[in-house]
Structure 1
Amino acid sequence: MARTDERFRGAYNQLLDYCDDLSVGDQLPAELTLAAHLDVSRTVVRAALERLQSEGILNWDGRSKSLLREAKATDRLEVKFQQISPEELEHQFLNWILRFDVPPQTSLNVTELARKFGVPAYGLQEFLASLSRMGLVRRRAKGGWELVGFTRDYAVELSDFRMMMELNAISHLLALPDEHEIWSRLAELEVAHRKLAEEIDDRYHDFSVLDEQFHTAIGSVVKNRFVTEFQKVITLIFHYHYQWDKKDERERNLAAIGEHLDLIEALKTRSEDAAMKAARHHLTTSKQTLLSSLRIHALS
């Protein structure tokens, strides 16, 4: 197989990721084991091992394959991936976490996850590094990554942080002129909320999408890179929690619609006291609902 072949390049980079979890002097497993791990043929594995040896990363002598040095970013080969966007990767990964497909403290296999989400392994490494700032994953002491997961403590801290961010956004919103686009957007959302309330018996499961749109609209008035970064994970988590607990779903969603409408009405009157009171009430209720939803996963 030619060295310029994309399959070889992808396998070679995955083998570098595998070596990232090793220490200098450690042995790599047999070729068959590596072929199964990388999902390639033994021919591709041998070509990748030869490249590692020529680059001084590996000493390959018969069955002995010992790591000589840690890989650098410049050791990687360019691969043209038909990959998903960073935004889609974030959505899929958080979706994976929030559906509780894996428990907290699970070791994350970068090679397997890169294949799962259709991204290069180095791109997933960069994504995990950015996600670690949100506290959902962390680096292991001996290399690699570990899923911290969505716990009760995380839910409490996230809810409290959400309260601060959204109250700040409401202060910004109330200061905006009448011609600002947020007012027409709130008018549209008010109509959508009233329509959903009228059709609640058949459409109560649609509330999670409307909730996401509503809180995203309020947060959009604040132009702050740090708020933007955390707003994405906050929005997605509070979007999904409506799907975790189906008990009394219609009643809970109808009550939340009423709380949204109370906040919209307070915003329309430009009363900061009324708006803050309505927002605190709704966000407190939302926090309690989130914690209650976690009980079905034995996390609360």
Structure 2
Amino acid sequence: MARSDTRYREAYNRILDYCGSLPVGAAMPAESALSDIAEVSRTVIRRCLGRLEEEKLISWVGREKRILRKPTEADRIDLPESGASPEDLEQRFLEWVLRFDVPANTPLSVAELARRFDVPQHELKEFLAGLSRFGLVARRRQGGWMLLGFTADFAVELSDFRSVLEQNAVTCVAEAPVDHPVWARLAELRARHLSLKERIDTDFHEFSKLDESFHAAINSVVKNRFVTEFQKVISLIFHYHYLWDKTEEKLRNSAAIDEHLAIMDALENRDAEAAREAAARHMRTSKTTLLSSLRHHELG
């Protein structure tokens, strides 16, 4: 599909959304104002108006345009498949939130975000609806969406919930059969941890990726659809906070390596209780680091 046709389809759906915000019988603004709303030329706007008239959504006589009926979902024009997968959109959106580009309790413009992330508006709306279950965004009473943001309270609640999930995960790993793939992954991760420990003075910045791999391996043993959903968000947030505060980064990462190794030692000994205790210590440290990072951004 040509890019020009894609822009027309996107513009038409934006104008359709705008029409839906007006009462039946209301007058529509001038073409210049509609052009600003849809961020396209007046030529494209006239094409959109022509289709609206054909679909009996508006009356159009001279410069006067009035709403005849409320648009429905069936009135929308299909858009080409987005180039971004749901997982890619989720990561890009969360990274945008976690860079603190916008403060908490900021109204979100679906049209602006759709352009930012290069996805159709209907896809962005579906994504926000799904993301709302994590408490980062919420519907506004007057319509639209609100960014609740990543706050200190959110960080504490997320850390506490993560600790519960990790305790369950290490128990599952300790009880996994000897031929389970997790043991080979942990052996490989142990080697990577020991290697980085020897290079910590120069390569300490590599820990964030290693931390992500370690916790992904631990949690891979848990077969629970609800855990899987939340782990995606938890993983990204706890991975990303390593990028916020660089003070004493080497010392923190070195200590975290030792905590990971303690968990792996207990797991390899099939000592579930020791593994849970080691995981609890690591979660307390991780929570402290996360809150310290938030204070670095004056959010804690």
TM range (shorter): over 0.9
Secondary structure of the structure 1 residue equivalent to 2:222:
coil
2:23 is aligned with what amino acid?
V
Secondary structure of the structure 1 residue equivalent to 2:141:
coil
Corresponding position of 1:24: 23
For the 8 Å contact 1:17–1:111, the answer to whether it is kept is: no
Deviation of 1:130 after TM superposition, in Å, equals 0.1
The equivalences for 1:1-300 within 5 A come to 5-19=5-19, 22-25=21-24, 28-60=28-60, 62-300=62-300
Distance 1:19 1:198, change over 3 A: farther
For the 8 Å contact 1:18–1:111, the answer to whether it is kept is: no
Deviation of 1:73 after TM superposition, in Å, equals 2.0
Deviation of 1:251 after TM superposition, in Å, equals 0.5
Deviation of 1:105 after TM superposition, in Å, equals 1.2
Please provide the CA RMSD for this pair: 2.0
Deviation of 1:23 after TM superposition, in Å, equals 4.3
Deviation of 1:53 after TM superposition, in Å, equals 3.5
Deviation of 1:91 after TM superposition, in Å, equals 0.6
Q: CA offsets, 1:168-226, max 9 Å, x none?
A: 11121111111100000011111111111111111111111111111111111111111
For the 8 Å contact 2:12–2:48, the answer to whether it is kept is: yes
Secondary structure of the structure 2 residue equivalent to 1:138:
strand
For the 8 Å contact 2:82–2:120, the answer to whether it is kept is: no
For the 8 Å contact 2:15–2:37, the answer to whether it is kept is: no
For the 8 Å contact 1:204–1:249, the answer to whether it is kept is: yes
Distance 1:108 1:287, change over 3 A: same
Secondary structure of the structure 2 residue equivalent to 1:263:
helix
Deviation of 1:8 after TM superposition, in Å, equals 1.7
Distance 1:64 1:233, change over 3 A: farther
Deviation of 1:15 after TM superposition, in Å, equals 2.2
Deviation of 1:58 after TM superposition, in Å, equals 3.7
- Give identity over the alignment, percent: 56
Distance 1:60 1:218, change over 3 A: farther
The 2-side partners of 1:135 and 1:264 are apart by 32
Secondary structure of the structure 1 residue equivalent to 2:84:
coil
Deviation of 1:7 after TM superposition, in Å, equals 2.8
The 2-side partners of 1:28 and 1:105 are apart by 30
Secondary structure of the structure 2 residue equivalent to 1:288:
helix
1:30 is aligned with what amino acid?
A
65-74 or 142-151, larger mean C-alpha shift: 65-74
For the 8 Å contact 1:17–1:121, the answer to whether it is kept is: no
2:256 is aligned with what amino acid?
A
2:153 is aligned with what amino acid?
D
188-197 or 52-61, larger mean C-alpha shift: 52-61
TM-score by length of 1: 0.93
Secondary structure of the structure 2 residue equivalent to 1:222:
coil
Q: CA offsets, 1:15-50, max 9 Å, x none?
A: 234445x24256544322332342321011122123
Deviation of 1:258 after TM superposition, in Å, equals 0.8
For the 8 Å contact 1:107–1:145, the answer to whether it is kept is: yes
The 2-side partners of 1:65 and 1:108 are apart by 28
The 1-side partners of 2:19 and 2:206 are apart by 46
The 2-side partners of 1:127 and 1:27 are apart by 32
For the 8 Å contact 1:167–1:279, the answer to whether it is kept is: yes
Distance 1:58 1:158, change over 3 A: farther
Distance 1:56 1:158, change over 3 A: farther
Deviation of 1:234 after TM superposition, in Å, equals 0.2
Equivalent residue pairs, number: 297
Distance 1:54 1:169, change over 3 A: same
2:207 is aligned with what amino acid?
F
For the 8 Å contact 2:169–2:219, the answer to whether it is kept is: yes
Distance 1:31 1:122, change over 3 A: same
Distance 1:246 1:63, change over 3 A: farther
Secondary structure of the structure 2 residue equivalent to 1:5:
helix
168-177 or 226-235, larger mean C-alpha shift: 168-177
Distance 1:249 1:145, change over 3 A: same
